[in-house]
Amino acid sequence: MAFRLKLVPEVTHWDFFKHARYTFGLSVFLVIASIIVTMVMGLNFGIDFKGGTTIRTESTQAVDVGEYRAALATLDLGDVTITEVFDPAFGANKHVAMVRIQAQAEAEAITPEVVNQVEAALQTVDPTMTFPSVESVGPKVSGELIKTAVLSVLAATAAIVVYVWLRFEWQFALGAVAALVHDVVATIGVFALFQIKFDLTIIAALLTILGYSINDTVVVFDRLRENLIKYKTMPLRDVMNLAVNETLSRTVMTSGTTLVALIALLVLGGDVIRGFVFAITWGIVLGTYSSVYVAKNVVLFIGLNRGDKKKPAGDEQFFTEKTDAAD
């Protein structure tokens, strides 16, 4: 007999909506806290959005931010940020730093001559220092990138809402958009809280999170629609619990296997992709949570019109089923 890995039993009867008011309250708190943190602390915009030049340095000597800054002080470059990069994959003799120079007012990007001056100044600290990459983005381009990034996220969200509305009902679309807003805002809040660099790769991660989250939500919605037809007199709360339990094994296996690959990339992938991988990892955890505790709670709170079936008794808690009674 072939061996089959089972992370959850084939049949479960867990009540996912027993503490609906608390799980939904936690989600509301997370969104509000994320908005406040983002407004107060702001995002650590990368070179894509802030404009300027980023020079990556590699040295055999330990990074001394003070010495680096002193070497660049005579160049009159304006705002210069120097950050040491830590990575478990780096060897004992590999020390990496990121030198960010603000966008120059009268130029779209720092000239190659200025870049050469910066590199020469840094090599006075360590003559063996190398510069694997140099990235420059002008102020005008960075402003256009911010606008395009926001529009891309909004357009993706709008398209998803229209798709869910056409495939299911408007209540499902509201639940889906609530879950998507929850995932995106909470992810941005984490980046603001820990001041992780926010650049175009994070926008790509957010779009990936939107797709993953709605995929999980639609799977449960599809099973819910089938069960609504099959169990016409069962309370909506119980039908939703049944739908989530029936798709639980698929959800755990899909999310679990994806997280295994992402965690490996997070630990071993290097600092270049760490922000991108962290965003997707956090987003998948949020997306799995929100597909049940946000999207379904919203639908449960709004209620569904199930035709001429009377409202079943025994569902008078915080989230209640709202159906039209027979005339």
In the predicted structure, residue 139 carries a pLDDT above the cut 80: no
Nearest Cα to Cα of residue 52 among 164, 196, 199, 159: 199
Ordered by where they begin, the domains of the chain are: 20-44+142-302 (1.20.1640.10), 52-137 (3.30.70.2040)
Cβ-contact 286, 213 below 8 angstroms: yes
Residue 87's pLDDT band, with cuts at 50, 70 and 90, is confident
Q: What local confidence, expressed as pLDDT, does residue 323 receive? A: 42
Over residues 277-319, the pLDDT tens digits come to 999 999 899 988 988 888 888 888 888 776 544 444 444 444 4
Residue 230's pLDDT band, with cuts at 50, 70 and 90, is confident
In the predicted structure, residue 38 carries a pLDDT above the cut 90: yes
Nearest Cα to Cα of residue 196 among 266, 279, 97, 263: 279
Locus of tokens 């299911």: 168
* DSSP-assigned states of every residue in 267-308: HHS-TTTHHHHHHHHHHHHHHHHHHHHTHHHHHHHH----TT
Locus of tokens 């619990």: 241
Can you give the pTM of this predicted structure? 0.73
Structure tokens at 14: 């867990």
Residue 39's pLDDT band, with cuts at 50, 70 and 90, is very high
Q: What local confidence, expressed as pLDDT, does residue 254 receive? A: 85
Sign of CA dihedral 25, 28, 33, 36: negative
Q: What local confidence, expressed as pLDDT, does residue 308 receive? A: 42
Query: What separation in angstroms does the CA of 91 have from each of 62, 99, 196?
Result: 12, 21, 23
Torsion angles phi and psi, residue 100, rounded to 5: -110, 130
Distance CA 326, CA 324 (A): 6
Rg value, the chain, Cα: 25
Over residues 265-276, the pLDDT tens digits come to 888 877 778 888
Cβ neighbors of 297 (< 8 A, separation 6 or more) are: 17, 20, 23, 24, 27, 175, 319
Mean pLDDT across the chain: 81
